[in-house]
Amino acid sequence: MLEGSILQQLAKAHPPERRPLNFGVYYKNTLVALCHALEDCILTSTSDPLVITAFQRGKWYLQEADRYHLLAQKSSHVAIMAAPDTGFAEHPTSQLPNVALVGLDPVDPVAQEWHLMILSPSYTAMVLCQELSAADYGAAGQPTADLERKFYGFWTFEPALVQETVEIAIAHINRYNPQLAQRLTAQVQAIADAAPTAQADDLGDIVSRVVDYLQTSQEDVSHLDICTQHKALDNNLVSNELQAFLRLAQLLDIADTGSPMAAAEIAALAETMGQLLDLPAWQLKRLRLAALIHRIAPATVSVQYGDEAPSCPLVPAAQVLRTMPRMQALAQIITHQNEWWNGNGEPAGLAGDKIPLESQILGLTAAFKQRVTKLQADTSGGETMPDTILTQVLTEFKSQSGDRWNPKLVDTLELLVMGLQQGLSLTIPAPKISAGMWLIDAQMDSDASGADQKVRSEV
């Protein structure tokens, strides 16, 4: 990273050992689709955001200037950083009273960055990237097609991280225009004051838009003759479609202050159960991913793991998964996580082996984690997991065997609990969101019915 750049300053404030920022490599075509999706969500937002961007060169801003004229109508203020080119200051958008241009010195490291920061009481989002240098491309050299240019960075919906980055950007703007920086600082404070009582925009709808724009870009790029890396571009787009769901799930976890690592812990529990059931590696991978994003189904009710387990309506965020060929099986797993073995669950009232096996495992481990967390909070402040709590929760689940839960899976849960009580340690790493392609392979959307039947005959 370039010394003094906004990306480098943020990374320095968040070393990997404290809080990884999930950096990844993005092609330009992915960033265009991603930024357009996040920008257009401004038009439907319930509040007017502060928008700060970095376009590298004025010519790239001019390609987007007409779009930004519309965005400015729905924004409290728009600050645009770029190394000036001809026409940079003359475009009509640049003359709007709430649009400010910051002409960067060409040697300024921010002139090599591509940023979009959106901060409001109801909607926050950010794309923060830096273009790879000629040396970074290695022997293959720099691409000849503009859409194949690569950038290093990350994107997020996290309000605290977006505000922190906005403040870094304002400090950089202060070098060029102290008065503008002062106005932007006042707006940030006003937004922070309003945020606690604001009604948040629907992140499910925002994720749906992101996926839709990425899929459209995927279709458009497939017809371009100028691109030589169609497969790489396609994979980058698909990876970011999946990242949108992972980032939504991450935000739901962060909002749950009582259990901010719940999804990762459930993924570890579910994966271990799958290993005890001898599931194949590709199915374990799919189960782990479903566990990481399983909270998007009840996202509209902001489920806390100390509350009662919710029903699982077919909400837009889960339904969008069905439009992604490789993710349709995940949609099915998440949709049916609250079915009951006796058929009294939701949303479809499936019973017995008609419930997908992975849905059964996910539902069981999620409910187990939820109940353990509740008892921990009631008895010890949530800091420990004594054997007595594990035994109590297991006894409760065994009493529901054959009613709510598959008896054979409850037996497997008992083996898992015994292991935990005897010192089994589950590895619970934070998911590497930007490395989304590790979650995708040719069997991700496979019909697991054959594997399910094999497991059911053996457990």
366-386: pLDDT as tens digits: 999 989 888 887 775 544 557
- Highest mean pLDDT range out of 141-155, 160-174, 240-254, 363-377? 160-174
Q: Which CATH number fits domain 244-458: 3.30.40, 1.10.3210, 3.10.180, 1.10.10?
A: 1.10.3210
Residue-wise pLDDT for 12-70, tens only, equals 988 876 666 778 888 888 889 899 999 999 999 999 999 999 999 999 999 999 999 99
Residue 44 tokens read as: 């439907």
Greater confidence (69 vs 222) lies with: 69
Nearest to 103 by CA among 56, 68, 143: 56
Topology adopted by domain 6-201: Endonuclease; Chain A (3.30.870)
Alpha-carbon distance 104 to 1, whole Å? 18
Residue 224 is predicted with a pLDDT of 53
Q: Where exactly does CATH 1.10.3210 map onto the chain?
A: 244-458
Whether the pTM exceeds 0.85: the reply is no
Where are the CATH 3.30.870 domain residues in the chain? 6-201
**In terms of pLDDT, which residue wins out, 415 or 148?**
415
E strand or H helix at 348, and its extent? none
Q: Which candidate, 347, 367, 41, places its Cα nearest to that of 213? A: 41
Count CA within 13 A, CB hemisphere, residue 410.
17
The residue with tokens 């991280």 is 161
Crossing angle, helix 58-73 and helix 28-40, to 10 degrees? 20
Q: What is the mean pLDDT of residues 236-247?
A: 69
Q: How far apart are CA 358 and CA 384, in angstroms?
A: 28
Chain mean position to CA 137:
27
452: pLDDT confidence band, cut at 50, 70 and 90?
very low
182 Cβ partners below 8 Å, 6+ apart?
Answer: none
